[in-house]
Amino acid sequence: MRIPTSVKAAMATAIASAAAVIGLSAPADAAGGDGVCQVREWCLYASVNLGGSLYDYSGGDTNYSNEKFLTAGVGQFRAVANRALSGDNRNLTMYVQAFTGPNFTGTRGVAAPGTSGTFARTYFANLESHYFSRGPAGVAPAPGLLR
């Protein structure tokens, strides 16, 4: 069945309008990648004790090589992959599953909701991907993600 061009144009306009409305209703505190560590985000820092430059994620990421630390301070403009020294799980209901390899490979560490700190030796300057989960998905490997 052939759809007339005028119907296709009307459908495209309707879809674009719906997308614009949906985009306007996105929560402001879940921006991610804006250099502000907010509620519901996983924030990585270029220095210990949540210091230095940061990069914030509102969702999972398969490869930290694509992002650079954003804010002023030690590490600014450097790739996040294998450089983060501390993290902050600002999501109060979700766990962070963080990995030493891209695409959720390598050693996995878990950060419980609302936890933060300097990374344990295994993960110190050695993280490349993460995702959020509703539970810890098993027991976190020793020595654990955060010290």
Which tens digits make up the pLDDT trace of 16-57? Answer: 333 333 232 233 345 789 999 999 999 999 999 999 999 999
Distance CA 88, CA 42 (A): 6
Mean pLDDT of 107-131: 96
CB atoms within 10 A of CB 66: 11
Per-residue confidence at 147, pLDDT binned at 50, 70, 90?
Answer: confident
Which tens digits make up the pLDDT trace of 48-93? Answer: 999 999 999 999 999 999 999 999 999 999 999 999 999 999 999 9
Hey, where are the domains in the chain? 29-133
pTM: 0.77
User: Residue 105 is which amino acid?
Assistant: T
Mean pLDDT of 136-142: 58
Distance CA 60, CA 84 (A): 16
Highest mean pLDDT among 1-5, 6-10, 50-54: 50-54
For the domain spanning 29-133, the CATH number is 2.60.20.10
Of 1 and 71, the one with more pLDDT: 71
